[in-house]
Every structure is written in C-alpha cells, then in structure tokens.
Amino acid sequence: MAEVADGPPAEPQARRVVYCGVCSLPPEYCEFGGTVKKCEEWLKNNHPDMHQRLYSEEALNASLSTLSVTARERAAKDAAKKEAKAALAETRDAERKAASKVQIKRVERNKRKFVTVVTGLEVHGLDNKKIAKDLGKKFATGSSVTKSPAGAEEITVQGDVSEDLYDWLVEVHGKEIPEENIELVEDKKKKGGS
C-alpha cells in the first residue's frame, strides 16, 4: 500500500526557460538548428553559467563518450552540412535584398488626380500594413495595402506624394533599404483614342 502524505500537496513551481536569441530554441536544442556557432557565442555572452554547463570540456566529453565512432563522424558531418546550408541561405537572402528594388510610382487616375503606389518593401523585411498606416499619418491622406495584378502586395497612397515618400523612406528606413534600391517611376494613364 502507498503511504499518504499528511500535509497539503506541494504547489508546482514555475520554470524559467531561456530561449536562444539567435535561433529562438532553448539552448539545449540549438544543435538542431543551423546556427550552432552563433548560438554558442550568444549563450556565452548572455548566459555564461549555462554556456559553461552545456559547452565545457567535461560536458562535451561526457556527451561524446556515449556515441560510437561512426555516430560521432556522422554528427560532425550533419552539423557541418546544417551550418553550410544556413550560411548559404543567409547569403542568398542578402543577395536578394541587394538586387531587389523598391518602386515608387506616380499613377494618374483622371485629369489632375494622382495616386502613389509603392511596391517591393516586403523583400526588405518591412511590414506593408504598418508602413501604410505610417504613410497615412505622415501625409494626412488615405493609404491602403492592395494586391497588384501580378499578385504582389503594394501600398496605395492617395495624392502625388512620390518625392516626399522617397525622402521619407531614405530618412526613416535607410538602414533596411539602401538609397540606390529606391526608384521613382511616373506612370501616365493612356488617353482615350481618336
């Protein structure tokens, strides 16, 4: 028979879990992401006690001693592959950002009415809805996110604010978008035929 404790049941204690600032996994699982070296550096700078517990010589030797020689070699190959794949993805993303253009078009609606259309912001990691809201406040006009005929999202701002918008993008989001990647385009509506 089981013995019954005399006192009230103990309250469960909440655990404080640390998440990696690089890969957002708990540090015990960073090895399964592709950025092991960066994760280890982050852990060493932000949580030295946990780094010592996970990456000290004794901890590494203890975990390696349980693996066979072939498993060790395979683990080393897998880690190298994951790291190379992550580095390749990072360089590909940087190249894509460098090659992509943000277009600011001034489109004539009718007679002397214009709208300004901005495309290509999402490639640089900017949120179109937030930018549209900021532009609406900045220029005191209507601003919305719409789908283009090509299927991409674009921001439509009422009025001819293309040059002011260019200056604002360079000033506020100059870190994310290089100035040479922003281009102004004027798109005129074709007049009905004669």
Q: Are residues 94 and 107 in the same domain?
A: no
* Domain end point (choices 80, 98, 116): 98
Q: Are residues 64 and 77 in the same domain?
A: yes
| Domain assignment of residue 14, yes or no | no
H-helix segments, the chain: 36-46, 48-55, 57-65, 69-99, 128-139, 162-172
Q: Are residues 74 and 144 in the same domain?
A: no
| Domain assignment of residue 10, yes or no | no
Q: In sequence order, what are the residues at sequence separation of 6 or more whose Cβ sits closer than 8 angstroms to the Cβ of residue 39?
A: 20, 22, 23, 27, 30, 33
| Domain assignment of residue 193, yes or no | no
Q: What is the DSSP string of 52-89?
A: HHHHSHHHHHHHHHTS-HHHHHHHHHHHHHHHHHHHHH
pLDDT at 66: 67
Q: In sequence order, what are the residues at sequence separation of 6 or more whose Cβ sits closer than 8 angstroms to the Cβ of residue 56?
A: none
pLDDT at 194: 41
Range of the domain at 63: 27-98
Q: Are residues 110 and 167 in the same domain?
A: yes
Q: Give 93's strand partners.
A: none
pLDDT at 64: 65
Can you give the CATH number for the domain in which 143 is found? 3.30.780.10
Q: Are residues 43 and 120 in the same domain?
A: no
Q: Are residues 104 and 181 in the same domain?
A: yes
Q: Are residues 37 and 92 in the same domain?
A: yes
Q: Are residues 111 and 182 in the same domain?
A: yes
Per-residue pLDDT of the chain (194 residues), as tens digits, is 556 556 677 788 888 888 888 888 888 888 777 778 888 888 889 988 888 888 777 777 776 666 667 776 777 788 788 888 888 888 887 777 777 788 888 888 888 888 899 988 887 778 889 989 998 998 899 999 988 888 888 999 998 888 888 888 888 877 778 788 888 887 665 554 44
| Domain assignment of residue 127, yes or no | yes
Q: Are residues 48 and 65 in the same domain?
A: yes
Q: Are residues 182 and 108 in the same domain?
A: yes
What is the count of structural domains for the chain?
A: 2
